[in-house]
Copies of this chain bind each other. A is one copy, B any other.
Amino acid sequence: MRSLRLIASCPERIGIVARVATFLADRGASITQADQYQDSGSNTFFMRYGFDIPDADGLVPEMSEAFRPIAEAFAMKWKLRDPNERRRVVLLVSKFDHCLAYLLHRWRVGDLKMDVPCVISNHNDLRELVEWYGILYHHVPVPKEATRKQAAFEETARRIEEAVPDAIVLARYMQIFPSWLCERFRNSVINIHHSFLPSFVGARPYHQSKERGVKLIGATCHYVTEELDAGPIIEQDVIRVRHSDTIEDMMRLGKDVENTVLARGLRCHLEDRILVHENKTILFS
Contacts and interface: CB of A to CB of B under 8 A. Distances in A.
A115 interface: no
B31 A252 contact: no
Given A18-B18, A196-B199, A215 B243 contact: no
Count copies of this chain in the complex: 4
Contact of A196 (B12, B31, B109, B216): B216
B34 A14 contact: no
A256 B255 CA distance: 12
Interface size classification for chain A: 35 or more
B213 A236 contact: no
Contacts of A105: 98, 101-102, 105
List the 5 closest A-B pairs by CB distance, nearest first: A213-B280, A18-B21, A18-B25, A15-B25, A17-B21
Given A197-B199, A214-B236, 4 more contacts: A197-B214, A198-B199, A242-B283, A256-B260
Interface of A: 12-19, 21-22, 24-26, 28-38, 97-98, 101-102, 105, 109, 111, 132, 196-200, 212-216, 218, 232-238, 242-244, 252, 255-256, 259-260, 279-283, 285
